[in-house]
């Protein structure tokens, strides 16, 4: 199984529009970050987690040609605003299975009513198969078991996902003991790390590293990164063994 980091940036991406911050002006390709998303794939499996505003560009860059399922962590725009661009997949494959919390599905139905419409559909509008994800209820996509991991993004519930030894958690600030138990000693943990300064709804660097020590994965990758965290090369040098700053278009094997 392979995991392709489609995007590793926080909500505005890096560079931030109009910013003169040195990280935004960096010439290092690893300092350019689209909005967070990953593509998990093997010969018989292709799943994308989240579809933010950069989804089209990410699908072209990664050469992802089919999607068995789209898993959504939560409704924020940097994770969902690209939903309309599932159209080419819909034309090729038919209704695209989307998995999300009931609250998130309702939110998407409000914002993308034409995608959910059952009557008087606009010709060319994509359609999805909405699947509700419930806390502590595992589900299968093809033959792959997927375990939702429940966490909080400030006061907002978010889902992370565990697939085989791979765990993807983004936009979390707090997580209960019973959920940590499910991911202990996993092979690869991806976890959000915004910047060094504390933030109300995101882990900062210290919190992300503490969380990694608690989970004890074989390897950990940091994502959902703000330009305020610093230059990729400099931050990477400060990280402990087996902890890596993810970057766009990085692909790892699991
Ligand atoms: Zn986010």
Domain architecture of the chain: domains with CATH? 2-253 (3.60.15.10)
* Ligand 1 center to 173 CA (angstroms): 12
Angle at 76 between CA 71 and CA 34, to 5 degrees: 80
Distance CA 64, CA 89 (A): 10
* Ligand 1 center to 10 CA (angstroms): 6
Provide the pLDDT for residue 74.
Answer: 98
* Ligand 1 center to 74 CA (angstroms): 8
* Ligand 1 center to 147 CA (angstroms): 20
Q: Which of 121, 106, 112, 134 is nearest to 55 (CA)?
A: 112
The pTM score is 0.97
* Ligand 1 center to 118 CA (angstroms): 30
Strands 219-223 and 188-192: parallel
Q: Which of 210, 208, 170, 162 is nearest to 188 (CA)?
A: 162
Provide the pLDDT for residue 244.
Answer: 98
* Ligand 1 center to 204 CA (angstroms): 13
Provide the pLDDT for residue 93.
Answer: 97
Residue 189, classed as helix, strand or coil, is strand
* Ligand 1 center to 213 CA (angstroms): 23
* Ligand 1 center to 32 CA (angstroms): 16
Distance CA 128, CA 115 (A): 7
Distance CA 8, CA 223 (A): 5
H or E segment to which residue 237 belongs: helix 232-238
* Ligand 1 center to 198 CA (angstroms): 16
Provide the pLDDT for residue 62.
Answer: 98
* Ligand 1 center to 121 CA (angstroms): 31
Q: Are 193 and 225 in contact (CB under 8 A)?
A: yes
* Ligand 1 center to 7 CA (angstroms): 11
Stretches where the chain sits below pLDDT 50 are: none
Q: Which of 164, 207, 217 is nearest to 45 (CA)?
A: 164
* Ligand 1 center to 250 CA (angstroms): 19
Provide the pLDDT for residue 149.
Answer: 98
- Which residues lie at CB < 5 A from ion ligand 1? 78, 171
Q: Are 245 and 235 in contact (CB under 8 A)?
A: yes
Provide the pLDDT for residue 167.
Answer: 98
| pLDDT tens track for 107-160 | 999 999 999 999 999 989 999 999 999 999 999 999 999 999 999 999 999 999
Provide the pLDDT for residue 27.
Answer: 98
**Which residues are paired to 252 by β-bridges?**
3
* Ligand 1 center to 222 CA (angstroms): 13
The DSSP call for residue 14 is B
């Amino acid at each position: 199984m392979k995991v392709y980091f489609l995007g590793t940036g926080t909500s505005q991406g890096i560079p931030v529009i109009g910013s003169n911050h040195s990280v935004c002006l960096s010439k290092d390709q690893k300092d350019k970050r689209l909005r967070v998303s990953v593509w998990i794939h093997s010969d018989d499996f292709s799943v994308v987690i989240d579809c933010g505003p950069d989804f089209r560009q990410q699908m072209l860059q990664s050469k992802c040609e089919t999607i068995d399922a789209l898993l959504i962590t939560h409704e924020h725009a940097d994770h969902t605003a690209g939903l309309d661009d599932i159209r080419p997949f819909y034309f090729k494959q038919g209704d695209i299975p989307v998995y999300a919390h009931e609250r998130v599905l309702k939110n998407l139905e409000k914002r993308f009513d034409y995608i959910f419409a059952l009557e008087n559909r606009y010709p060319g509008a994509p359609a999805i198969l909405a699947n509700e994800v419930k806390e502590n209820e595992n589900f299968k996509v093809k033959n792959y078991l997927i375990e939702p991991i429940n966490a909080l993004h400030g006061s907002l519930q978010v889902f992370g996902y565990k697939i085989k030894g791979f765990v993807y958690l983004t936009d979390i600030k707090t997580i209960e003991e019973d959920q940590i138990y499910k991911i202990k000693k996993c092979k690869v943990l991806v976890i959000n790390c915004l910047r060094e300064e504390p933030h109300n709804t995101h882990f900062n660097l210290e919190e992300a590293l503490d969380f990694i020590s608690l989970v004890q994965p074989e390897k950990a990758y940091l994502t959902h990164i703000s330009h305020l965290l610093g230059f990729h090369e400099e931050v990477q040098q400060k990280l402990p063994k087996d902890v890596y700053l993810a970057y766009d278009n990085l692909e790892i094997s699991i």
